[in-house]
Amino acid sequence: MEPNAAAAREGNTAPAVSYRDRVLDNCGIIIKGKRDVILNVLITFLCGGHVLLEDVPGTGKTMLLRAFAKTIGGGFRRIQFTPDLLPSDLTGIHFYNQKTGDFEFRPGPLFSNMILADEINRATPRTQSALLEAMAEGQVTVDGKSFPMASPFMIMATQNPIESYGTFPLPEAQKDRFFMRLSLGYMRREEEMRVMYGEDTSSLLASLEAVVTPEETEEVRKAASQVKVSEEVGTYLMQIIEETRKDSRIRIGASTRGTLALFTAAKTKACLDGRNYVIPEDIKELAPFVLAHRLTCAGTLRSGEDTALLRDILTAVPVPTEEIGT
């Protein structure tokens, strides 16, 4: 492709690359060696979605969202989910104000920009479902009255994939509401030693400042919405979705919501990479994070086996070989 033609094809996506690098570099001050995970959180954020983070305790889940919230200049609230947590503890309540002689609404902790729902599977299904309206509709209803959530708004829910004692597993319908399922995992040895000998993480987090503006975020979202998806790439995406619905190991395949999520995520990733067109590798790279948790398998699988199953499907589906975007 000619240099001038390449520049023309990048179009208005060039600022998105700077936006991506600033966010990733700033979060990387706190979260070492997890640039790919931070990128997927950023893609989810730009797509208006929510993250389900499955990981063992102590890997930096809270620090990740705190750092991300500071980086984009948003508020942060952490909610510890427990069996006695009530829906009103999340959404808020109407209380009687004796001075005014009227009922007033007292917002709950959901009314912030970045919400960490810690150990979501330790709360009862009734409390878990209180998140559904906020996640899907961007509002909560209390006593018949609707209240809009803050903007921007993203929930990152965590759960321990190993320990199941005293937990309430998320139903398939609720897992489908999460845009991506991610895992931080352990650091590499060198990275963990840098953390050991480095400056205290709390001090670093306190000094962290926003590096992007709400206006830049909206510009990147607009640029991502204009990214092109060729018929070949769209067909490849649908072949993956259809295979999840035909595979005998899967009882319920990816939903239409999952199809749209993968489509939108691929466009956003392409934009952040400086392209105004999606390539098959965008689809293949994002599919495990967007689709695996949406699958209902025919048998009982251990943690991570649904992702391995989806990777089998990705290996079996032929990738378009013609040059995309020329």
**Are 159 and 232 found together in one domain?**
no
Residue 242 in domain: yes
Pair 300, 253 in one domain? yes
Residue 200's pLDDT is 75
Low-confidence ranges of the chain (pLDDT < 50): 1-10, 326
Q: How far apart are the first and last CA of the chain?
A: 7
Are 162 and 301 members of one domain?
A: no
Model pTM score: 0.89
Return the amino acid letter for 220: V
CA angle 292-255-282, nearest 5°? 55
**pLDDT score for 300:** 66
Cβ atoms of 48 and 175 closer than 8 Å: no
Question: How do residues 122-150 score in pLDDT, each as one tens digit?
Answer: 888 888 888 888 888 888 888 888 899 99
- Specify whether 198 is located in the same domain as 216: no
**Long-range contacts made by residues 316-319, C-beta under 8 angstroms, separation at least 24?**
316/243, 317/236, 317/239, 317/240, 317/243, 319/236, 319/280, 319/284
Domain that holds residue 273: 1-11+212-319
Residues 193, 306: one domain?
Answer: no
What CATH number does residue 233 fall under? 1.10.8.80
Task: Domain count for the chain, please give it.
Answer: 2
CATH number of the domain within which 49 lies = 3.40.50.300
